Structure 1
Amino acid sequence: MKLFKYSLFVMCAAAASASNADQIRADDMVVQGNLCIGTDCIVNGEDFSNGALTLKENNLRIRWYDSTATAGGPVRQTFDGTYVDGEVGESWRLDANQSSNGGDNGLYISQMSVVDYPVYSDGSAPDYDCSGAAANPRPVIGTIPEGDPAEDSLNCSPYSEFLQLNVLAMNGSLNGGVSLGIGAEIADGEVRLGNAELKRRLVHVARAISNSDVLIKEQLDQGLFQAQQIRLNEIEALMTMAENELEVLEQEVAPSGSSGGGGGAASWLLLLLPLAALKFRNRKTLA
């Protein structure tokens, strides 16, 4: 009897363990109905009218991991007072909203490290006091020197983080912005390719057509050169006018010799008029 009870207990325990174990299928799977994945899916009541596949949870994440890829060179991700050095290149991640509850509303495509790395202080990370009773947050008694492990705010122990470098980030607010490229900062109402220390070029852009289109360098140069060419043409016309006046003056002065100074003065005045006009236009342009 005891043997039977013991055997029944082992069988029940084994069945319970099997029910919680991962299910592996070595064959194809076809789902002809709909599918909901996530802790917020409603059992026997999920609405699939807007999609056959639903990912439902407060913070959604999809991760791609290429086990045949090779990680790239070392990269650094900086945080507030800390940094992490590691490698990425084997895994990509898609986040809908940030991972913490109450985080920003947005869509993020990022490279993610396969393993986590120690977090170090950049010289300004807080040094917490864990000598007394537990408190949240812990009292700060100083800063941790640069290069030393940073401390967890709850137990003052060193901790690790995964590298997650955003390649594309889109804010979900009404006036949300977009950032493109690792290290680019996101701001409302703007499209950014970098930050104050990291500048990037936007290349192979079509020529602007509408008034709200962005002008490319070629069009800016053309506008500047056209304005300069118009100015040069005006100067050339004024110089031609001055040369013609000079020829008239020479014709009037040559027959009379040194006499008739009044007529010569008037001719000189005519000669100076184009030059005075040129000087006036230069002042107007500078203003």
Structure 2
Amino acid sequence: MQKINLVIITGMSGAGKTVAIQSFEDMGYFTVDNMPANLINKFVSLLTTSEVGDIDKVAMVVDMRSRSFFDELSDIVNDLSDNPDVDFRLLFLDSSDEELVARYKETRRSHPLAEDGRVLDGINRERDLLSPLKSFSQNVIDTSELTPRNLRALIGQEFATENTTAAFRIEVMSFGFKYGLPLDADLVFDVRFLPNPHYVSELRNLTGLDEAVYHYVMDAPESEEFYTNLMKMLTPIIPGYQKEGKSVLTIAVGCTGGQHRSVAFAKRIGKELLAEKWSVNISHRDKDRRKETVNRS
């Protein structure tokens, strides 16, 4: 059995562990938030001794709450470091006292170790508890001056592997305006001005995935002109969305019913982006809506 890539994320409360675990999830890791320390060895044993799907990359957040909890985690970290079936790394997130206090004031949350004292009292207690663990960590990231986007990028640089799922993918979808705009669309393009196969009797009950409809739509001069200009715009801006830190870019193409023109266009856009080596999923939200309506009536 291949080694399990295991990352334990810990560090100061408020230093960015939520952003970190989301970053690992975007990279295809199986993630566990707020993992109890006493369950870590049992969980790792389950992964390494039995068939649990294809889980080979795991990231988990473990928070500090007490001295006993810290001592327990220290022993577990030593065990994992000696485990031949686990490629183990400890990621420690830190931040300055001033920045942590500012973040707690912004969220209006109390520090878990502050008890009845000030936030800074809790930060000092936690920093004292975590000091030895920070020294042991292979990766220490100070998030004091980092935005969430910067932190995601840094984690991607440090932990992405050849087998890591791309943190950025493109969803290309078709839809019908008569059924409403897709709520998750980032970019929306309207192709209702193109020739409509609905008014050709032999094409009416087909979709943009059928060759006859696809060519009826795409062979029109105005379709080719629009497609060429659309791709000239899309191709240079997509890397900007990836650089900005988005994990999913949703491109939605709409026509009246989402059956003919938008389906053909989404298919062609998706195929070209796939040819450019992007991770792409193509879907057609309303392609069969009319058919379902006819069947119900």
User: Given the two structures, how large is their TM-score scaled by the length of structure 2?
Assistant: 0.20
Q: Which has the higher strand share?
A: 1
Structure whose residues are more often helix by fraction? 2
Larger Rg: 1
TM-score relative to the length of structure 1: 0.20
Question: Greater relative contact order (Cα 8 A, min sep 6): structure 1 or 2?
Answer: 2
